[in-house]
Amino acid sequence: MTKRELIDTLAKRMNTSKREAEEWLDEFTDVVVDKVSDGEKVSITGFGVFDLGKRASRRGVDPRTQEEIHIPQMSMPRFRVGKRFKESVRR
């Protein structure tokens, strides 16, 4: 499903315009990105949790030079699926 298809579906289900549905979706994603970027968890009961995970530092290989390189630790956004969502998909 594309963003456009999601907006169309939201507009129909919410009985609102596509413009309002798009504004709502954009605001929602902006809030999630802002909060997770600030190190906060965004938890939606039954759906899941958006938060930051740590990726450990590691050794890698530069594909151009084939030299071994050090890749530093970094924060990565992650999503952990909620119980209700997981159960709905497994049916």
Note whether 80 and 49 are within 8 A (CB).
yes
Assess if CATH 4.10.520.10 describes domain 3-90: yes
Sorted by where each begins, the domain ranges of the chain are: 3-90
Interval 13-41: pLDDT, tens:
999 999 999 999 999 999 999 999 999 99
Tokens 């315009």 belong to 17
Phi first, then psi: what are they for 58, rounded to 5°? Answer: -160, 170
Cβ neighbours around 26 below 10 Å, total: 12
Res. 91: pLDDT tops 90: no
pTM of the model: 0.78
